[in-house]
Amino acid sequence: MAKQKKQPRPKAETPKGFRDYFGAEVTQRADMLRAIAGVYHRYGFDALESSAVETVEALGKFLPDVDRPNEGVFAWQEDEGDWLALRYDLTAPLARVYAQHRNDLPTPYRRYAMGPVWRNEKPGPGRFRQFYQCDADTVGSASMAADAEICAMLADTLEAVGIPRGDYIIRVNNRKVLNGVLHNVFGFKNESEDAQLDAVWETVHKREAVLRTIDKFDKVGREGVLELLTTGRKDASGAFIDGVGLSEDQAKPVLAFLTSKGATTAETIANLQAAIGESPVGEDGIAELRQIADLLAAQGYGPDRIVIDPSVVRGLGYYTGPVYEAELTFDILDDKGRKRQFGSVAGGGRYDDLVKRFTGQEVPATGISIGVDRLLAALREKGRMQAQATGPVVVTVMDRDRMADYQAMAAELRAVGIRAEVYLGNPKNFGNQLKYADKRNSPIAIIEGADEKAKGIVQVKDLILGAKIAESATLEEWKERPSQFEVPRADLVARIKELLDSQS
């Protein structure tokens, strides 16, 4: 009988493009999500938790025309033949939810959603295939007040999570203005039929290419965009990127549009007016920008927080009107020690045609999506979030037969909201218990041996102060500021609360 081949052990490694998140990171994200949800809730938005799995029909815009629709999403085929996929974002599921439940939902429907999304893309530094998004959308209102509200709410959200005024700017533009410019670029004057323009762009394969190119304006600048719109350019690695193929005469109006930002909102809108020529669709876009600017100004949101900026176009093709992007303006150091701005942490816009895919009827909608992981990284860069969260108070075990006493101490602390645990390892070596507390980043250790028990006291060890003193203090400072002291057992909870307050 042949010897059965031994199965190899599986490798203990995360799949490429994914990562694990441990205690402090998970806690920080949860705290941030609570802060964001608090702002959304104040604005009247309701929570929605939709399925992480959708049919490929619901995510159709992300799927290529191939046998296996796996480019951009993680997809699989059921035994019955249907294709399912992990959600790519939180917007497409909202369109499906609203179309499915619209008779039971209020109109307009304000909802927010938070959770992971998955993208089957090539991973890179800081670019993962699973990441968190935090969205807020209003479905069923064509009013520019909905867009202004989203922008105001985004500003409030950034400040609520710890980004102060002056460290961010929310930039607003309108895709209708860009459409007006592109109508003129491609030589079509009759804009009453959107289908006509779409047919032209599809025929020449340039619509999405132009949008993706001008979305890179912040990264490559005016000359870089000109090269990409025309003949192409070399990137930082030396690789050549093909251009869209416009002539320089065609590219100039696009560049004029991108560089229309003036010193004031009025000046910017005047420049945009010149860029669109006599385009009716462009006129509609400018009128909408004026409305948004006026509504924001009435609420006290000036250009120090929210500004009209023509360079914002957003890469996704489903936007139909206003688009917005939140950018953090402070400098950070890159891997080579060079200063650069942190960049975008949120984006969104109006997408009036997305629900129409399900219902056949146009349903206006607008919304924003915050990249939670990028926002967390920004706060860490600015030192506004601890890299390591504070651990629990550790009750050490001096006598394993008195475990009930130690558990009672922990229970008393937990009852008043103090995070606490009893050491559950081998208590024989007391030094290992303190090493454990250090590894847990615990602020305090509690010690009660037989002598302390007989006297009705406990020893309290301030681990944070002890670490600081060990690093820099002289012997005299040790005497003046003891990191370990005794307290009556009956006063344990009160004294631990006082010490934690002083540490924070």
CA angle 332, 334, 339 (to 5 degrees): 50
Look at the alpha carbons of 67, 69, 72, 76 in this order and tell me if their dihedral is positive or negative: negative
Which pLDDT belongs to residue 481? 62
The answer to whether 329 and 164 have CB atoms below 8 angstroms apart is: no
In sequence order, the β-bridge partners of residue 134 are: 114, 370
The answer to whether 192 and 226 have CB atoms below 8 angstroms apart is: no
Environment class of 244 (CB within 10 Å of its CB; exposed 0-12, middle 13-18, buried 19+): buried
Which pLDDT belongs to residue 115? 95
More confident position, 64 or 426? 426
Tell me the three state secondary structure of residue 117. Answer: strand
Only one residue has tokens 């890159």, namely 334
Give me the mean pLDDT over the 419-436 stretch.
94
The overall average pLDDT reported for the chain is 85
Segment (H or E) for 85? strand 83-86
The answer to whether 452 and 458 have CB atoms below 8 angstroms apart is: yes
The answer to whether 417 and 397 have CB atoms below 8 angstroms apart is: no
Instruction: Give the chain's radius of gyration (CA, Å).
Output: 29
Give me the mean pLDDT over the 17-27 stretch.
89
DSSP class per residue in 438-466? HHTT-SEEEE--HHHHHHTEEEEEEHHHH
The answer to whether 216 and 228 have CB atoms below 8 angstroms apart is: yes
For the cut 60, the answer to whether the pLDDT of residue 169 exceeds it is yes
Tell me the angle at which helices 207-214 and 175-186 cross, rounded to the nearest 10 degrees. 120
The answer to whether 227 and 233 have CB atoms below 8 angstroms apart is: yes
Only one residue has tokens 């309290």, namely 460
Side chain identity at residue 40, one-letter code: Y
More confident position, 393 or 352? 393
First-to-final CA distance of the chain: 69
**Tens digits of per-residue pLDDT, 31-64?**
999 999 999 999 999 999 999 999 988 887 554 4
**Tens digits of per-residue pLDDT, 473-490?**
555 554 566 789 999 999
How much of the chain, in percent, has pLDDT values that exceed 90?
51
Give me the mean pLDDT over the 154-174 stretch.
94
For residue 57, the tally of other CB atoms under 10 A from its CB is 13
Distance CA 250, CA 247 (A): 5
Task: Name which of 258-262, 314-318, 441-445 the model is least confident about.
Answer: 314-318
Environment class of 297 (CB within 10 Å of its CB; exposed 0-12, middle 13-18, buried 19+): middle
Tokens linked to 340: 């650069």
CA 230 to chain centre: 34
Give me the mean pLDDT over the 136-142 stretch.
96
For the cut 50, the answer to whether the pLDDT of residue 65 exceeds it is no
Task: Name which of 165-169, 231-235, 271-275, 446-450 the model is least confident about.
Answer: 231-235
Segment (H or E) for 28? helix 23-42
Distance CA 17, CA 21 (A): 13
Which pLDDT belongs to residue 379? 86
The answer to whether 459 and 448 have CB atoms below 8 angstroms apart is: yes
User: CB under 8 Å to 401, separation ≥6 — which residues?
Assistant: none
Architecture of domain 393-503: 3-Layer(aba) Sandwich (3.40)
CA angle 245, 251, 252 (to 5 degrees): 160
Distance CA 283, CA 285 (A): 5
Distance CA 344, CA 340 (A): 12
User: Which CATH class, in words, describes the domain spanning 23-52+87-381?
Assistant: alpha beta
Residue ranges of the chain assigned to CATH 3.30.930.10: 23-52+87-381
Which pLDDT belongs to residue 353? 83
Residue ranges of the chain assigned to CATH 3.40.50.800: 393-503
DSSP-derived pairing of the beta strands 109-118 and 46-47: parallel
Distance CA 297, CA 337 (A): 39
More confident position, 323 or 207? 323
The answer to whether 371 and 345 have CB atoms below 8 angstroms apart is: yes
For the cut 80, the answer to whether the pLDDT of residue 26 exceeds it is yes
Distance CA 306, CA 256 (A): 22
Backbone φ, ψ for residue 319 (5° rounding): -75, 140
Which pLDDT belongs to residue 204? 46
Is-above-0.95 flag for pTM?
no
